[in-house]
Amino acid sequence: MVREGKAESCFHVRLWCIVVLCLVLLSACFIVSCVEKIWGCCPGTWKPFGSSCYFISSKEDFWAKSEQNCIGMGAHLVVINTEAEQDFIIQQLNKTFSYFLGLSDPQGNGDWQWIDQTPYKENVRFWHQNEPNFSAEECASVVFWDERGWGWNDVFCDSKRKSICEMKKIYL
């Protein structure tokens, strides 16, 4: 009878060890999922980089319509703040297309403005050589030119192009 009690006691200790181990593993999984949520996430088809999410439109439209499409998704046309951001974005693009940026010169007087009111800085710009070059082209796009690679170009706002939308990551 004593031996049966000892065996039963060993069984209970093992069972409790398994229960505690499972609780520790579940807790670890919960903590990891919370940390991931604190870091932020992007909607399914959006690409994450830094504190933002990016959507590359497959549809071509005018600049104003492209901005409205971005707004409809809770975003705006992309604002490029760093070379690292520019490098990330161009890796997502197809070289055969041109993509609207959230940069425009509404008066055609060289006063370029970002759509989110970020100050336009001369040191954070990636214009192709000799661009912008025509005051009637009041919107900016990023385009690949064989001899020059990726860079910005001033374009007519009423031309149809693909676009890049940007939103801040969602933090839960």
What does the alpha-carbon distance between residue 38 and residue 121 come to, in Å, rounded to a whole number? Answer: 31
Task: Kindly give, in sequence order, each residue whose CB lies less than 8 Å from that of residue 64, ignoring residues fewer than 6 positions away.
Answer: 157
Predicted confidence at residue 14, as pLDDT, reads 80
User: How many CB atoms neighbour CB 116 within 10 A?
Assistant: 11
Predicted confidence at residue 4, as pLDDT, reads 59
What does the alpha-carbon distance between residue 116 and residue 136 come to, in Å, rounded to a whole number? Answer: 22
Provide the residue-wise pLDDT of the chain in tens; the chain has 172 residues: 445 566 677 777 787 878 777 667 666 555 544 444 457 899 999 999 999 999 999 999 999 999 999 999 999 999 999 999 999 999 999 999 999 999 999 999 999 999 999 998 766 789 999 999 999 999 999 999 999 999 999 999 999 999 999 999 988 7
Would you list the domain boundaries of the chain?
1-39, 47-168
Decide if 102 contacts 115 (C-beta within 8 A): yes
Burial class (CB in 10 A: 0-12, 13-18, 19+), 161: buried
DSSP string, 121-157: -TTS--BPTT-S--TT--EEEEEEETTTEEEEEEE-T
Decide if 120 contacts 113 (C-beta within 8 A): yes
Predicted confidence at residue 170, as pLDDT, reads 87
DSSP type of residue 95: T
Q: Does domain 47-168 have CATH number 3.10.100.10?
A: yes
Residue 153 corresponds to which tokens in the numbers above?
């170009």
Predicted confidence at residue 134, as pLDDT, reads 95
Residue type, 64: A
Which contacts of 128-137 are long-range, i.e. CB under 8 A and separated by 24 or more positions? 128/152, 128/153, 132/105, 135/105, 135/108, 135/109, 135/110, 136/108
Predicted confidence at residue 122, as pLDDT, reads 67
Task: Kindly give, in sequence order, each residue whose CB lies less than 8 Å from that of residue 9, ignoring residues fewer than 6 positions away.
Answer: none
